[in-house]
Amino acid sequence: MDNNELKLTSAATAYLGLGSNLGDRLANLERAVGLLSRPLKILRISPVYETEPVDVPEQGKFLNLVVEAQTHIAPADLLKLIKGMEQVVGRGKAGSGQPRIIDIDILLYGNIRVNSENLVIPHPRLSRRAFVLRPLNDLVPKLRHPGNRKTMAELLLALGDIKGVYIYPASVSP
């Protein structure tokens, strides 16, 4: 999609979850963040976490992080833009639960809720995924989920014993 075709909205803060478990995982995350920094204003990036795959067949561990960004791009257009970036980095046609070079999800977009055929915001599994909540909690522990109104810290605490999510000894910068 050409940037001239994007629908613009008032500025919103969006939280994007990134993950990679194929190839040079850290380089994949760095490349994706670099691509995101062109149309979005990256405000902060969480620490990188190495995580066990969740609900998927045997495959390699993921590196995950969350990006906090300011955008004027409408949510549906942001999704289209992200899907294009995944193709550039090398996601390919990996289906749900398959190993991937990069996966980028819109976790939150301002305080809005979207429920369409192609896009659900907040991300429908956000409150059940430690690999998303842990980095979100690092950035915005007091931010409230637009649906259940619990803070990221409360959601993380509700998961109980968090296994398989470990801080990774490298970081990604914009």
Q: Exactly one of 25, 91, 129, 134 is catalytic; which is it? A: 91
Q: Both ends of the chain: CA-CA distance in Å? A: 22
- Which amino acid makes up residue 29? L
Q: Exactly one of 25, 31, 105, 134 is catalytic; which is it? A: 105
Q: Would you call 91 a catalytic residue per the annotation?
A: yes
DSSP for 109-146 reads: ETT--EE-SS-EES-TTGGG-HHHHHHHHHH-TTPBPT
Q: Would you call 100 a catalytic residue per the annotation?
A: yes
Q: Exactly one of 25, 100, 129, 134 is catalytic; which is it? A: 100
Q: Exactly one of 103, 129, 134, 138 is catalytic; which is it? A: 103
CA distances from 164 to 51, 117, 119 (A): 5, 31, 28
Active site residues: 91, 100, 103, 105
